[in-house]
Every structure is written in C-alpha cells, then in structure tokens.
Amino acid sequence: MRFLIVIVIIGLVGTLAWDLRDGVLDMLPGEQYGSVKNSTKMLPFQVQIPAYVPKNFKFLEKESLALLTSNSAGIPQINLLYESSDGKNGLALKQHDRGRYEKDVLTLAKMSDFPSYFQNYRKMSETQSGGKTIYLKISDTKSQTAFGEQKYTAATAFLTSDSVVELDYYGDKFLSQDELIKIILSLKVL
C-alpha cells in the first residue's frame, strides 16, 4: 500500500514539475494567463479575464503577448486571443483604458458619451444582463475582417469603472448572443 502511495505522490510531483517548466501553473482555471499577468502590471486598469470560454476555444498565449508588447504607443490596452480547435473561429477580448479611449476615440468620432458612440457610431444594440449594460452587433452576412472573409461576425462591448471591454468573434460557425453574454458575464479581475 505504501508503494502505491509513493507512486501517486511521485506522479503528482512529476506532473506539477512538468506543468511549471514555463513558470506558469496552467493546469488550474485562470492560471494559463500567468505570463500575461506579469506583463500587465503597468496598465492603468484592472485586467479582466474570462472564467468561461467555449470548450473548443484555446487561449493563444504567444500571440496575445506579442500584441501586448508591440502596442507601446496609443491607448493602453490588452488583447487576449482565442482560436477554435479547427482554426476557423476566433475570439478577441480587448480591454482599453477608459479615460484614454474616451479622450481619443469618442473625440475622433465626435460623440459625447459611450452610449451614443456604441449605438450610433458602432451601430450596436443595447441589452441588460447580469446587472451590466452590454452593447452588441451580430452579423450573419459574409464580412471582410482582419482575419479574412468570415461568415459570421459579432462585436460586444461594455464599460467597467476604469476600462472599455470588447469581445469580438469571427468565424465559420454561428456564436449566439447568449454565448457571447455568458463569456462577458464570466469576466473576473486577473
């Protein structure tokens, strides 16, 4: 019996050591963002991460870090990218400093406030869910995007006290409004 316990302990220690080889314990929920967390300490807002992402999507850590380090000018922001297992669908969770976004983007768009900007300029509809005002725009017509021509696109946005959070979807498969809202409502501070 002792031999079996020793084997189990050795297996657990080995698994933990293998997972920690990159300095991040990513077996636990939310811990796959460890390397991103280290790079966001200087951002002027609390970074939000999703506790829920559809099961066929994986976090693109290297691509997300590359965007974070390459965006040295402009509005302070973070972009967390996800891709479906077949590579045909993508999610981009973008978070911007609210003060700079308001100063730069709303001024450029000649909009006086965020509701006007999202509803009139971005053509998003407003909905209430989980105590949050969420702006949405879902399209089922083929669109040209930064990721090529996509059958479905969706954009959502909402405000926190210190940031503007946007969740964009591009892909071959339809992602429902309920699914997008589920991701948004799962956001928690990193």
* Distance in angstroms (rounded) separating the CA atoms of residues 141 and 152: 6
Sorted by sequence, the CB contacts under 8 Å of residue 36 that are 6+ apart come out as 47, 61, 64, 65, 68, 78, 80, 190
Using alpha carbons, select from 169, 139, 177, 165 the residue that is nearest to residue 56: 169
For residue 21, the model assigns a pLDDT of 44
User: What pLDDT, on a 0 to 100 scale, did the predictor assign at position 36?
Assistant: 78
Q: Domain coordinates of the chain in residue numbers?
A: 40-189
Left, alpha or beta for 135 (phi > 0: left; psi -120 to 50: alpha)? beta
Low-confidence ranges of the chain (pLDDT < 70): 1, 3-4, 6-32, 69-73, 145-148
For the domain with range 40-189, which CATH number is right: 3.40.50.720, 3.30.70.1450, 1.10.357.10, 3.40.1000.10? 3.40.1000.10
Q: What's at 77, amino acid-wise?
A: Q
**What is the reported pTM?**
0.78
* Per-residue pLDDT at 158: 93
Q: How far apart are CA 148 and CA 55, in angstroms?
A: 24
Q: Cα–Cα distance between 185 and 52 in angstroms, integer? A: 9
